[in-house]
Amino acid sequence: MKRLLAVTESIAAFFLLAIALLTFGNVLAREMFQTQIPDWFDLSKQLQGIAIFWGIAIATYRGGHICVDLSWEWADAAGKRWIDIVATLCMLAFLIPLTWMVWAKMGSTGTQTTSDLRLPLVWFFAISAAGVTATAGLAVVRLVQLVRGSADTPLESVDG
């Protein structure tokens, strides 16, 4: 499981780095050479979608996403567990249709390409679809761990 999480984090980080390098390269090209990197805007949008979906996978599994902690902080251990279970079920209720829709979008992309380099968009959507599938899968794993009582709380997973 640790290897899967490390790979997921690495994919998100790689695409975030790619966005930063692409943006930096385009600014440099614009300022120094009065030109732009072809398709930089289309590529940055696609790479951002990929980075977001893969990043959400890690945040969902760790339970470290933005949440309201007021009632969770005051709850006892059993109450915290139930709050986490309900929150994860709500997240799954959102992620399962989202996963289906991203795969459907990928299937309907057809021969669409970027405007300058004519790169097929289907590859970007495929990587995004894999990321949202990983998100839903890790949410299911977290839910099972919560139900069994073996999941870390968000604070435990950050600290240790």
Per-residue pLDDT tens digits for 39-97: 999 999 999 999 999 998 888 888 765 555 667 778 888 888 898 899 899 999 999 99
Q: How distant is the alpha carbon of residue 20 from its chain centre?
A: 17
Cβ pair 80, 153 in contact under 8 A: yes
Query: What is the rounded CA–CA span in Å between residue 23 and residue 37?
Result: 9
Q: Indicate yes or no: pTM above 0.75.
A: yes
Beta strands in 17-151 (DSSP E): none
Cβ-based neighbour number of residue 58 at 10 Å: 20
Helices 2-33 and 121-148: angle between axes, nearest 10 degrees? 140
Of 137, 149, 152, 153, which Cα lies nearest the Cα of 56? Answer: 137
Which tokens belong to 111?
A: 């021969």
Per-residue pLDDT reduced to its tens digit, 17-31: 999 999 999 999 999
Query: Tokens 């929150």 correspond to what residue?
Result: 87
